[in-house]
Chain A
Amino acid sequence: MTSRALILQCLQCALVFAGAPLLAGWVEQCRAWFGNRHGAGPLQPYRVLRKLWRKELVVAHAASWVFRTAPYLLVAAMIIAGSIVPLLAPIVPLAPAADAIALVGVFAFARMVSALAAMDIGTGFGSMGARREMLIGFLAEPALLMVLFTPALISHSTSLAVIVRQLTTTRLFLYPSMAFAASAYVMVLLAENARIPVDNPDTHLELTMIHGALHLEYAGRHLALMEWAGAIKLATYMAIGIALFLPWGMSATGSASGIALATGLLAVKMTAAGTALAAIETLLAKLRLFRVPEFLGTAFMVAVLGILVHFLLGT
């Protein structure tokens, strides 16, 4: 393991940890613009986090250690996920630690922790939210796995680093199967990150909440951590999407100039992806909860189709 790779790994961790709220803020800002509002600026999440951090920590009487440790576990899981994904170069030392399937496992673990924490207090909304969250996860995970299988088949490896290296080093080649995988991935991303049309991140109506209901009992520092974990999750999902479907410009060797270029390109890609996400959210309406299985079923089908197309066309 070279020192350069170590530095790169630290840089990536810092970037994911510190940059994630900026991305979330950018998406919110774009949504505001599309909705003809001024918006609070892309830095707003930092202000919210600071405000929450300073607030007094209130914990329900019935809360057990599960409830208290959950925010830390969540943030830790998300940072691990964020460090595995090749962000700037496919040579980060932690990348071999887990392949794409293990990555899905990390997300599943995080979901389980947050669901347990929500049920820990025993309030109605919490357990309802946990149930809904598990339903969505139950449907989204197979679809996500299917999405990941298509690039894995193309590069004969489930390791994200190998996939990315394969995709960046071969010369420009259009993979029709990746078109399917990409469409399915966008659908999974929307569902997993509680975006419209699956969930409305802005809602204040507890009955319609899915993801929001998990946070209802949290306050202060805990809430800040939960929010932060959510932002990192969104950033990680976007990073996976970029690594799989738009990997061009990543530095293969990790040279300083290459990393600088990759960072710049990453910023552009993330900005574009955030804008696209906001556009999708603005254009679509929220689905009724009963339609969500349909939505994710479609994502699953499309991902499977991608695999089939891969076998048929051989590319």
Chain B
Amino acid sequence: MPLFAQITNLLAALFLLVAFAMLAQRRIVHLINLYALQGGILALSIVAVGYGTHQESLYLSAALNGLLKVIVIPLILYRLVRRLGLAWNRENLLRVPTLLLVGLVLNIFAFDVALPIAHLAGTINRDTFGIALASVLLSLLMMIVRTTALTQVLGFLSLENGLIFAATSVTYGMPMMVELGIALDVIVGVFILGVFFFHIREEFDSLDLHRFDRHEE
């Protein structure tokens, strides 16, 4: 196995590890740190794939992802956290071991789905497909169990990280136009959510989504 493929595999494993850490992390600030770390791993793995396959366009994609996910979005989130006064907030997350166990089951499921696919694929990094699928499922789980608006959004962003990871490590990147479109959507989405947080807090005095009344079904 060539060295770059080993490095991508290692980064893939670290990516999954961070996804797990995000699932179990209670403190919002640490969650943002983990998100930035995940973005960094993502950018590095894109660089590794670009180096291995001699695709210069991937360097651009790595730079874009790195800029967006390691610097811009975490900075926006830090600002939001500071302005909303959530710096030391921690979420009541019950039963972390159970949560991790469910995550583990999801992982087994994802790997099981991925195994036949991985053997068919021609690309060198086919093995990372299962990891990408697993981290997507983990982010979904995180969105389900989180109860505050900000943490749900972090789950959403990490979901998007997993998707980009799938796109680059498995297929060597989507066409640039599509990637730019996705990046644009993400950044606009983050801005809209930022606006949202203030509206929600204005109306509900909290970002805890349990405060949403149950309206008529």
Chain A positions within 8 Å of B, measured between CB atoms, are 173-177, 179-180, 183, 293-294, 297-298, 301-302, 304-305, 308-309, 311-315
Contact = CB atoms under 8 A, between A and B. Distances in A.
B155 interface: no
B6 interface: yes
A302 B20 contact: yes
Given A179-B13, A302-B17, A312-B114, A174 B6 contact: yes
Interface of B: 1, 3, 6-7, 9-10, 12-14, 16-17, 20, 24, 96-97, 100-101, 103-104, 107-108, 111, 114-115, 118, 127-128, 130-131
Contacts of B14: 176, 179
Given A301-B103, A312-B111, A314-B127, A173 B17 contact: no
A315 B9 contact: yes
A311 B134 CA distance: 14
Nearest to A293: B97
A313 B124 CA distance: 11
A305 B127 contact: no
B179 to A, nearest CB: 25
Helix, strand, loop or mixed for chain A's interface?
helix
B41 to A, nearest CB: 11
A311 B107 CA distance: 12
Given A294-B96, A312-B115, A305 B131 contact: no
Given A176-B14, A294-B97, A301-B104, 20 more contacts: A173-B6, A174-B7, A176-B9, A176-B12, A176-B13, A183-B17, A297-B97, A298-B96, A298-B97, A302-B17, A304-B104, A305-B20, A309-B131, A312-B111, A312-B114, A312-B118, A312-B130, A313-B128, A314-B127, A315-B1
A314 B12 CA distance: 13
B104 A305 contact: yes
Contacts of A308: 104, 107-108, 111
A176 B3 CA distance: 13
10 contacts: A174-B7, A177-B13, A179-B17, A180-B13, A297-B96, A298-B24, A298-B97, A313-B12, A313-B13, A313-B127
A312 B9 CA distance: 10
A198 to B, nearest CB: 15
Which 9 A/B pairs are nearest by Cβ-Cβ distance? A176-B13, A297-B97, A174-B6, A301-B100, A313-B127, A174-B10, A176-B10, A176-B9, A312-B130
Contacts of A301: 20, 97, 100-101, 103-104
Contacts of A180: 13, 17
A176 B108 CA distance: 17
A175 B128 CA distance: 13
A298 B16 CA distance: 14
A314 B111 CA distance: 12
Contacts of B127: 312-314
A253 B127 CA distance: 36
B151 to A, nearest CB: 18
